[in-house]
A and B are shown apart, each in its own frame.
Chain A
Amino acid sequence: MSAALSLESVRLPRGTLGVVTLQFPVGVHVLTGPNGIGKTSLLNAIVGSLPLVSGRVHFSGQPLDHRDARVVLAPNTPPDMPWIRSGLLLDFIVSLYPGSRRDAGYVNQVKQAFGLGAFLDSPLGALSAGTARKLLLAATLIAAPPVLLFDEPTNDIDAASIAAFLEFVREAAMQRVVIMTTHHGGDLGSLVPTVHAFTTNDSK
């Protein structure tokens, strides 16, 4: 059975996507579309935090359960927990994924590339929007289950960090399904992704 994520007649409780049937094989996929159409809701539904109205989500031919450690999401806003130490949040997210890439070399490489070292002892509320987003991107890359979801990953972050992020995604996508939403498709062009452009009442 191929390692692909598939959505079968999925209908979301929010947005105007209608019924969605899609296949996401291993590689990079980009979801685009106007504000409010349901891109973020679709990612939340795949990760299990938004119940579906109808339809099913499968991975490698098996249903993706409501609680499943085969998928991780980097949200587009950091959690409303300004008191939490940034390093603790990163370690907590990673600890939820049994198959994560916890080898020290990769972890340090990711932290260094995003320039996170100096911020891991700071509370989340003290970080800039860009640094908080890079923290969530780093946690997602280190957790590294078979399906990685990124919601607007390049918003707020500097050019050097975007370049580093694209390199990590390129390497991760060789064996994993990577799905990203974006309004800035140009940033991700170098990955040569499969683009899924949604329009209102889209039915695929």
Chain B
Amino acid sequence: MAANYLWIRHAHYRITLRSWLKGLDKALIAIASALTFILTAMVAMVIYGMAQALALLLDATTSHWHRIEVICAWQVISFVLVRALREAALMPKAQRFFDSLPIAPALRLRADVVLTLLTYSFLWLPVTWVVVDPLGARTAPLGDTLAVLAELAVISICVNLTLLRARPRHAAICLLALLLFAASQGEAAWLTAIRAGCALLAAAGLWQSYQPGAARASTARHRSDLAHGLALRTGLVLPLLANELRANLLVRVGVILGTLAACLLVIELRTNDTSGASVLLFVAASATLALYSLPALLRRTLLGKLAFLAGQPAFAQRMRLSAYGMPTLLFCGALWLGWVFDRSGRAGIDAGIFSALYVAGVAGTRLGLRITTWFIPFAVMIAVIILGAMT
């Protein structure tokens, strides 16, 4: 097969994912073997829960707030997913090289959209559930169902691609389309037309972002004395987080906030008694998983990039304080947020257990123990099951 642009992008996607998943096999096997009996039920429950949330978009009696919550949740989950796989799906490091080649904008757009559709992966399961409707619970006609779900998918892909390709003006158009789509609830013909118009508007914004001259040149940065001083005092950890690891940090924080949002949404939608619902358990678990490897990542990145300064005592001292302090502050913030919404009455025990796991994870990654990469996810999963069963 000739090595055309799409083929190269596909090959990069496959090879990158394969290399990323190489180290995760042990964690997956450990989790799957520990959860043999309930894994299927858990996966089915997650898919069914997401399908139920999507079905709210087709129900004329759904409140405006619930509709907005579902659309925001879909947007956040899809963004986190595409951002997490950006290197594989969008191949950003090679963009400058591809920019120098005569590749048609339509071909680039096609490659990005196809690989983003692949990246949505498990999000298509609840969509398929709503369309196939195995329980016969859908009230809306199939045509309307397909139209609404297709419009949501198109707009979210447009938002994600314009944001992740750093096209702020076009992203603003797509976000406006998403906002209008969320606000236009109802079965009237004009509302249906507005929703279709939103999808077209987002698609036009995305198409424009691929045209020559759409990208803005980067300009010299303005110096802020406060930011400058903070950067020096934190041993460059702060600017590293704000620049090179910004998206990485956003994904980690997004996972924690997404877990909190999901907990609150489930409590809101559940019809049985939620007076003893545990929020901290899930928020602390996601915070442990999202943050335990961050201090080691910060330390490794800085020491790797500034190897010629690695021997300086002041560098090590400043970096140590901020590389461990900032993720720990984020972890404490997540615990506090979970605590505020927790109704289980045993938040202290949950917080203590997950704090111990966080500390063990940070120490393990600092010492370079390979066992940490599968042991901490496994231990967190077991802790969630045991503590969850006590609720």
Partner of B313, one of A47, A68, A84, A122: A68
B residues 230-289 in Cβ contact with A at 8 Å: 231-232, 236, 239-240, 243-244
In the assembled complex, 15 residue pairs joining A and B whose CB atoms fall closer than 8 Å, in A order, are: A44-B307, A48-B311, A48-B312, A49-B309, A67-B313, A68-B313, A73-B308, A75-B307, A81-B244, A85-B223, A88-B231, A88-B239, A91-B232, A121-B222, A122-B221
**How far, in angstroms, from A87 to B222 measured CA to CA in the complex?**
11
A83-B243 contact, Cβ under 8 Å, with A67-B316, A92-B232, A122-B220 = yes
Determine if B310 is an interface residue (Cβ-Cβ < 8 Å).
yes
Q: How large is the interface on A (under 10, 10 to 19, 20 to 34, 35 or more residues)?
A: 20 to 34
**How far, in angstroms, from A73 to B309 measured CA to CA in the complex?**
8
Hey, which bits of chain B sit against chain A, CB under 8 A?
218, 220-223, 228, 231-232, 236, 239-240, 243-244, 305-316
A92-B311 contact, Cβ under 8 Å, with A84-B243, A122-B220 = no
Partner of B218, one of A68, A79, A92, A126: A126
Q: What residues of chain B lie closer than 8 Å to A44, measured between beta carbons?
A: 307-308
B173 to chain A, nearest CB (A): 27
**How far, in angstroms, from A91 to B228 measured CA to CA in the complex?**
9
A residues 118-133 in Cβ contact with B at 8 Å: 121-123, 126
**How far, in angstroms, from A84 to B244 measured CA to CA in the complex?**
9
Beta-carbon nearest neighbor of B317 in chain A: A67
A residues 55-105 in Cβ contact with B at 8 Å: 66-69, 71, 73-75, 79-81, 83-85, 87-88, 91-93, 95-98
Q: Is the CB of B231 within 8 A of A96?
A: no
**How far, in angstroms, from A172 to B356 measured CA to CA in the complex?**
52
Q: What residues of chain B lie closer than 8 Å to A73, measured between beta carbons?
A: 308
Q: Is the CB of B310 within 8 A of A49?
A: yes
**How far, in angstroms, from A142 to B160 measured CA to CA in the complex?**
45
Q: By DSSP majority rule, is chain A's interface helix, strand, loop, or mixed? A: loop
Beta-carbon nearest neighbor of B305 in chain A: A79
Additional A-B contacts beyond A44-B307, A96-B312, A123-B221 (9; CB < 8 A): A47-B311, A49-B311, A71-B311, A81-B240, A83-B239, A84-B243, A121-B220, A121-B222, A126-B218
B316 to chain A, nearest CB (A): 6
A46 to chain B, nearest CB (A): 9
Partner of A121, one of B221, B231, B311: B221
Q: What residues of chain B lie closer than 8 Å to A66, measured between beta carbons?
A: 311
B312 to chain A, nearest CB (A): 4
**How far, in angstroms, from A97 to B315 measured CA to CA in the complex?**
10
Q: Is the CB of B309 within 8 A of A93?
A: yes
Beta-carbon nearest neighbor of A74 in chain B: B308
Q: Is the CB of A85 within 8 A of B221?
A: yes
**How far, in angstroms, from A91 to B218 measured CA to CA in the complex?**
23
A169 to chain B, nearest CB (A): 18
Q: Is the CB of B307 within 8 A of A49?
A: yes
B55 to chain A, nearest CB (A): 44
Q: Is the CB of B312 within 8 A of A84?
A: no
